[in-house]
Amino acid sequence: MSLLNILRYPDPRLHKVAKPVTVFDQRLKTLAANMAETMYDAPGVGLAATQVDVHEQVIVIDVSDAHDQLQVFINPEIVWASEERKVYDEGCLSVPGIYDGVERPARVKVRAKDVDGKEFEVDADGLLAVCIQHEMDHLKGKVFVEYLSPLKRNRIKTKLLKEERELKRDQKKVVGAR
């Protein structure tokens, strides 16, 4: 297995819409395994293929405390969402260090396929429901900060771009010192 590079907001590739998976083969299983390893290493509870610059409808999620209940959703679709809504503080591996409240349906029913192409359904609430919806947004090219006010979104973008510039500057200093 290998770790994948996670795109950082505001990278424009995060806004690409993912295509449905049509071939269920070893490449797909390897992608899901690499995504899971990347998610656990980050550490996070969910990761969409879009975040690792693969624009296919694949998400991995594990909201368990022991990190031993990996779920892989291929071509997920929400077939039911509750009218009840809740605000949860969300974070994102593509928007490191930023957390803010996002309102979403409190419960959802999701239909998807596993890595072998077998269809299944999951009824989700709490953190799992939030995570599924958050990761499915990535497949549609949407990042959670887009739910926030334009002012907050611009502050986040400015902060992350500044951090990226500083990181690149520091890397050049290290290379130049050799």
Tokens linked to 24: 């269920």
Closest CA to 2 of 43, 32, 25, 45: 32
Catalytic, 135? Answer yes
Binding positions are 92, 134, 138
Distance CA 107, CA 143 (A): 20
Is the previous residue joined to 10 through a cis bond, with omega within 30 degrees of 0?
A: yes
Catalytic residue among 83, 103, 135, 163: 135
> Which amino acid type is present at position 24?
F
The answer for residues whose C-beta is within 8 angstroms of residue 109's C-beta and 6 or more apart is 78, 79, 80, 81, 121, 122, 123, 124
The annotated binding site for Fe cation is made up of 92, 134, 138
Is residue 134 classed as helix, strand or coil in its secondary structure?
Answer: helix
| Catalytic machinery residues | 135
